[in-house]
Amino acid sequence: MKDPANDSLAQSFYEGVPEDQKQRLGAFRQHFPYSTMQLGESDWHYIDTQDGEQVVFILAGATTIAEISFNTIEHLAEGNRVIAPDYPPIDNLAQLFDGYITMLDRLGVDQLVLMGGSYGGWMVQSLVRLIPDRTDKVVLSAIGPPNPENSRQLEKMLWMFKLMPYSLLRALMNRSFSRLVSEGELQPVQMLMMAQLKEIMHNRVGRKDILAALLRLIDQTENYHFGSEDLADWPGKMLVLMGSDDPSTTPDKRDAMAVLYPQAEHVVFEGADHSISVTHKEQYYLVLDSFLTK
């Protein structure tokens, strides 16, 4: 695993980002370095803040890299133990979740909070159905229900993703991320986020990681059931956070989530796009902190 703090190419992506923002990310990397656990024949990389009685297990978005959530990891670490793994290039959920459960067992974690935004929110929706007895709370953000039609379209395009030059595949992924951010002048914290995305996609994620992420979505909608009755007997609490201007959580998808999770607390942040925790930081963490302390 490359060390982005010591990689000159990685640093080039941060040109134009305010110095104080770059220092924030650098300080996070020093304070919460990655750990590695060997599971089977593979090395699984994860961040573990270690301190705190309540464990929040955060699954990353489509970048596959846990550090993209560093703002939330850093905030939650003030009162919780946060464990945030990268996604290894595994293309089926059964094997992925088996690895995560083994990781939690080895780290001595029994009960936990599951949290996921965007792509990670899809993964969490399957994982809570697998381990409801170990899950006290669930936080989903910036995502709708798993989407079979989206998976069918991905399946039709897989051959193209496998054959196209990786530079083009990476550019397509970067473009899809950019579309989730509101147009206009970026705030300094958004500039950092976009630079971090480019670094991750160029320097830390390969074709096999992207293809595995897409194949997991296909596996999810083909082999996992999602209905409002699935968690009817689960005694835990759930929070669903969405932005009113997020193209990935349009009103119909917000309505679908309300039907799928009638027991959840649903909060919509007016004017927020996909990066709610960045653009609406104070409101977002106020709601999140209140939920986690219930």
Domains and their CATH numbers in the chain: 4-292 (3.40.50.1820)
> In terms of Cα–Cα distance, which of 270, 212, 241 is closest to 117?
241
Q: What is the pLDDT along the chain (294 residues), one digit of tens a residue?
A: 444 444 444 678 888 888 999 899 999 999 999 999 999 888 999 999 999 999 999 999 888 899 999 999 999 999 999 999 999 999 999 999 999 999 999 999 999 999 999 999 999 999 999 999 999 999 999 999 998 888 888 889 888 888 988 888 888 877 776 665 655 567 788 888 888 888 888 888 999 999 999 999 999 999 888 999 999 999 999 999 999 999 889 999 999 999 999 999 999 999 998 889 888 999 999 999 999 998
Rounded distance between C-alpha atoms, residue 138 and residue 112, angstroms: 9
Q: Residue 25 — left, alpha, or beta (φ > 0 → left; ψ -120 to 50 → alpha)?
A: alpha
- Contact status, residue 114 vs residue 212, Cβ threshold 8 Å: no
- Contact status, residue 47 vs residue 69, Cβ threshold 8 Å: no
Q: How many CB atoms lie within 10 A of CB 108?
A: 7
Q: What is the DSSP letter of 134?
A: G
Give the tokens for residue 168: 């083009």
Integer CA distances (angstroms), 183 to 158, 178, 180, 273, in order = 30, 9, 9, 10
Rounded distance between C-alpha atoms, residue 6 and residue 228, angstroms: 47
Three-state secondary structure call for residue 140? strand
Angle, helices 166-178 vs 207-223, to 10°: value is: 60
Rounded distance between C-alpha atoms, residue 195 and residue 12, angstroms: 9
Largest CA distance in the chain: 52
- Contact status, residue 58 vs residue 32, Cβ threshold 8 Å: no
Which pLDDT belongs to residue 3? 46
Which pLDDT belongs to residue 2? 46
pTM for this prediction: 0.92
Which pLDDT belongs to residue 154? 86
At which residue do the structure tokens 């009817």 appear?
A: 232
Which pLDDT belongs to residue 185? 65
Which pLDDT belongs to residue 62? 82
> What Rg, from alpha-carbon coordinates, does the chain have?
18
DSSP H helices, the chain, are 8-12, 19-31, 70-76, 93-106, 119-130, 148-163, 166-178, 188-203, 207-223, 251-260, 276-279, 281-292
Task: Name the β-bridge partners of 57.
Answer: 83, 114
Three-state secondary structure call for residue 37? strand
Which pLDDT belongs to residue 9? 44
